[in-house]
Structure 1
């Protein structure tokens, strides 16, 4: 087929001498070329008009420009709307004349007084200069606040232990030095907890923390900090193992995988490895490190003996389907991943893709209503059966119609997306019959964000052991977030408690159980009540 464009008459002349198979091949080649060109145009549109949001918000005609079109001019007399509808909430317009918050009353406080130290500075009134106190009366006061920062937030605890001599026996006596969480270590538990949180929650690598220590006047070696981290994480490993056992006992489990660089493969090269996060039904997450994306790691993570009624929810990766068939459990699949396939094809075939997206949006609308009405158990199941099931059945019937009308074109992204959904109909329908199963794995996707966010700062882990330690800490941190636990308070407590806690009761120190048993009266560092002031979490 010539590459140069041809006129209609030339094409007609060429077509007249072709057999039916040759004509079919010609039409197929032209369709593939059209799809390829549409993809290129869509790519250029994204470069010019910016990255499109994952949210599907139909735009009014004429608002969003397309390649080669001029922008419409908005008349000056059109007043802006008072509010802008953004999915499930309304956004108030920005007030360009609004001044910076001065905080002249208690209602304007922008900080938590129980956590942030407040230094009081009294501003003298020049009008009272030279006056006797009896010459004026203070009838009130005005207060304003400003956010300030000290060069460093580190504190040195100086323990003074008097050495005494007993006159009766003439013997010397001195109190022993306070016991730390690591034997013979000069790091207080507050520093260890802060170092862990700074690295894994705020993504500050250890070398940056070392520079910060030096700038604050604290001279410790970088090797000391590097050795301190794995020693501290090793104390937390039994808690991680207990939490993993709790996740494995869950009836409904969500699982995914995300890549990471860990271990050296050679000069200047790192090994490609994976974290496999698993979430249980009690909002506990564990990041399991494995050196590959092989299907056998699903079996290692969850075990081959699963109780009846177990549901594994995941994306469309075949390893999960293989595991479900091998163990006889139910495999639920994710509607968010199915929707993403349709969304990616919207640039090529917008009309058909919009119909599919409307149907999926109807399913999510029912889920939003369920959350708004706080439905659980049987009531949630009934709502899904009455409202979601008819929508889903009509959607799959519509998919079958698309294939009957158009057949299957391997080069069509839209039909490829529909084929992905049709092949997984059983897995995508599981949530209709089980109120404990979510419509998607977005709760897991949100929790695993800490890994790709951290990779932007860490880039890689020097050793596989380091990657395993990342998984341990991030598992506990992410679970703290899910249960609304202050991670600093949690780590300060459990680092001191884990050494004396019975091994048979180690499950009590997982974040979920710790919140119920110890959160109201946690163990503190000696720094906590120093000077009668609460210690900041970032200390």
Structure 2
């Protein structure tokens, strides 16, 4: 930029010349100023564009990272590899992947927020605000009102008036706190010694002559069998919070409590068998310590589940776990003794004898096989390079499930009518197609075995077409056995057969609570209190989890 001309150096110039030079000089200074502003603006826009470009590159990399994480999540949850994971392993894997996805999303939101602060194209539509998330209405609210330091009006007219307010919510926690309840029962006697002593009757306790209240017992039960926190870890946490109780003492409390709830679970098992015509049955391993051999032996939890909501049945859902030291068919016969109807099962051979006239304990049962197990066998047999046979089979099975989703909750007659009209043609074509494919595949191959798995059990797979009470699969009972499976992973094993039976009883109550949307702690606290007060002899039906659900819903208790 050139320096301005000093006109004082030329005193002899005529006034009109000086005026013209001053005008030209002013115009030059204005032009130079505009050029400098334009250069500064150009540099600013260039720096802004470079910064925005760096943010876009970062955002692109984060989006690619998120897509990769989501793909891994879907592969873990839905892909063939998920068939090799136990339910507890799958839950832990998904938990870590969900955490990583949430972290990446947070990074993306930060970069997007930085981009939104930059000047945007005015022609681009503004981003829609996200719908605010709300915390559950059932949680207690504690209002904290923050007033300004002063509401005096600066104009001197007095105090300002309230015209509105802003509200925000945050989730808080009250840490666990142990306390000792001291029960005092004063004794009264006649001052003249003419009568005996008067004293209030001692309150009933579930575990007489022991420290724990029914609330504490319910808390320990839920922590172990619902939240999968073993007693040794609970003991450490209790000591940290000021209540040093040894693990052996907690085990004693749980063992005695497990014996007291046995009549409740036994009655629940009887209700499921006597009041149903269709049940789900499945089994899962239960490692039990075998001191004589210095290692564990394999016992089994046999799950018997009732859920009639699929066909709009009125009976409440429930599940009972029975511990047995093995997986022999005789155990299934023993557990289902007295039941007549249909059981929805996998293809385990232990159930086959129950469908024959030789069955002891009732009439021959109908076996409805699980389509999910058939589908799973096909996926497992699929070669790494893929198989058009498996792909076609999965598409055909998916069409059946689509029909099932549309008729869920309808009465049995309507479900059967729809299945006869829509599903039966698809099933007939499916098995005819399977027969044709089986002739093209080696019987010794994994795919040949998967095809034979369904073809040899065609009647059981087709049973749902004839009975509107029956579902296509046994997924409900498979979901139910995840609870003892997760407890098993954290506890490793039961210390004794009796301990495994107690474990099965607690799992039965908690599993039935979940099926009836009952909060397990609230139910167990109520159950233990009623058992302590002798309610078992009065009305055992009122102690069932579904009865508690009915009582709380009618009384309006959340």
What is the TM-score normalised by the length of structure 1? 0.71
Cα distance in 2 between the residues matched to 1:340 and 1:516: 38
CA, structure 1 residues 217+265, in 2 after alignment: closer, same or farther (shift >3 Å)? Answer: closer
Larger Rg: 2
What number of residue pairs does the alignment pair up? 427
Work out whether 1:123 is the aligned partner of 2:149: no
CA distance in 1, matches of 2:157, 2:265: 64
2:389 to 336, 340, 352: 352
Aligned counterparts of 1:401 and 1:151: Cα–Cα separation in 2: 64
User: Where does residue 342 of structure 1 map in the other structure?
Assistant: 378
Q: How does 1:350-499 map to 2 (within 5 A)?
A: 350-371=387-408, 374-404=409-439, 406=440, 408-410=442-444, 412-499=445-532
Give 3-state SS (helix, strand or coil) of 2:109's partner. Answer: coil
Report if aligned partners of 2:206, 2:531 keep a CA contact under 8 Å in 1: no
TM-superposed CA distance for 1:396, in Å, is: 0.8
Alignment check: 8 A CA contact 1:151 1:216 kept: no
Query: In the alignment, is the contact (CA less than 8 A) between 2:530 and 2:536 conserved in 1?
Result: no
Find the aligned partners of 1:385 and 1:395 in 2 and give their Cα distance.
15
Superposition CA RMSD, Å: 3.4
Give the distance between the partners of 2:465 and 2:285, measured in 1 at CA.
31
| Pairing 1:321–2:344 present | no
Gaps of 5+ in 1: 1-47, 58-92, 100-106, 524-533, 535-539
User: Shift in Å at residue 403 of structure 1?
Assistant: 2.9
Q: SS of 1:271's equivalent?
A: strand
Q: 2: CA distance between counterparts of 1:263 and 1:433?
A: 45
- Distance of 2:153 and 2:211 partners within structure 1: 53
Q: Deviations over 1:392-420 (max 9, x none)?
A: 0001111111233x25330x221211111
CA contact (8 A) 2:318 2:512 kept: yes
- Establish whether residue 292 from structure 1 lines up as the match of residue 317 from structure 2: no
Which segments of 5 or more consecutive residues in structure 2 lack a partner in the other structure? 1-70, 81-104, 114-131, 308-314
Would you tell me which structure has more helix in proportion to its own residues? Answer: 2
CA distance in 2, matches of 1:287, 1:314: 15
Distance 1:504 1:173, change over 3 A: closer
Query: After alignment, is 392-401 or 210-219 more displaced?
Result: 210-219
Moved more, 380-389 or 163-172: 163-172
How far does the alpha carbon of each residue in 1:132-176 deviate from its partner, in whole angstroms, 9 at most, with x for none? Answer: 996444444433333333443334334455566766769875534
Within 5 A, what are the aligned runs for 1:30-429?
A: 52=75, 55=78, 96=109, 109-112=134-137, 114-116=138-140, 118-127=141-150, 135-161=159-185, 174-249=199-274, 250-266=276-292, 268-281=294-307, 282=315, 283-303=317-337, 305-307=338-340, 310-325=341-356, 326-327=358-359, 328-348=364-384, 349-371=386-408, 374-404=409-439, 406=440, 408-410=442-444, 412-429=445-462
- Counterpart CA distance in 1 for 2:150 and 2:556 is 50
TM-aligned CA deviation for residue 55 of structure 1: 4.2
Given the two structures, how large is their TM-score scaled by the length of structure 2?
A: 0.69
Q: Using the alignment, how far apart are the partners of 2:403 and 2:176 within structure 1?
A: 51
